[in-house]
Homo-oligomer: A and B are copies of this chain.
Amino acid sequence: MSKSEVVELRVLEEGGVVPCCPPITAGELSQADAEKMAAMFKALSDPVRLRLFSKVASHPGGEACVCDIADVGVSQPTVSHHLKKLREAGLLTSERRGTWVYYQVAPSVVAAMAAMLDLRG
């Protein structure tokens, strides 16, 4: 990474899904699209984050309390750090309910990835 700017991935706009980027095989990516896609892939480029994401995604109801998914082999502050990264990338959303914080997969995230990979069928 040469820049330290935060590139936020917009896969959701109010009212519906907005594809974040053109398919990766459809032509040369613009600088801006490349940065958006890279931010998304980067968020998934760590084994711990991937496991956290898949734990949330596969949890009944599509959401999970931090305490349900925290057992991924690193300390609790590190789990929190990775969940924050996933939040910032727009892949997860979080909500406090009483004592616990619940994480959900942001809607249409997987569909947005599918669009990038040109798998709209």
> A residues within 8 Å of B by Cβ?
1-2, 24-29, 31, 34-35, 37-38, 41-42, 44-51, 53-55, 57-58, 73-74, 105, 110, 113-114, 117-119, 121
A28 x B117 contact (CB < 8 A):
no
A117 x B110 contact (CB < 8 A):
yes
A58 x B114 contact (CB < 8 A):
no
B50 x A37 contact (CB < 8 A):
yes
Q: A1 contacts which chain B residues (CB < 8 A)?
A: 46
CA distance A107 to B37 in the complex (A): 21
A70 to chain B: closest CB distance in Å? 13
A6 to chain B: closest CB distance in Å? 14
A8 to chain B: closest CB distance in Å? 15
A-B contact pairs, 18 of them (CB 8 A): A24-B54, A24-B57, A25-B57, A25-B58, A27-B54, A27-B58, A29-B54, A31-B51, A34-B50, A35-B47, A37-B44, A38-B45, A38-B46, A38-B47, A41-B44, A110-B118, A113-B117, A114-B119
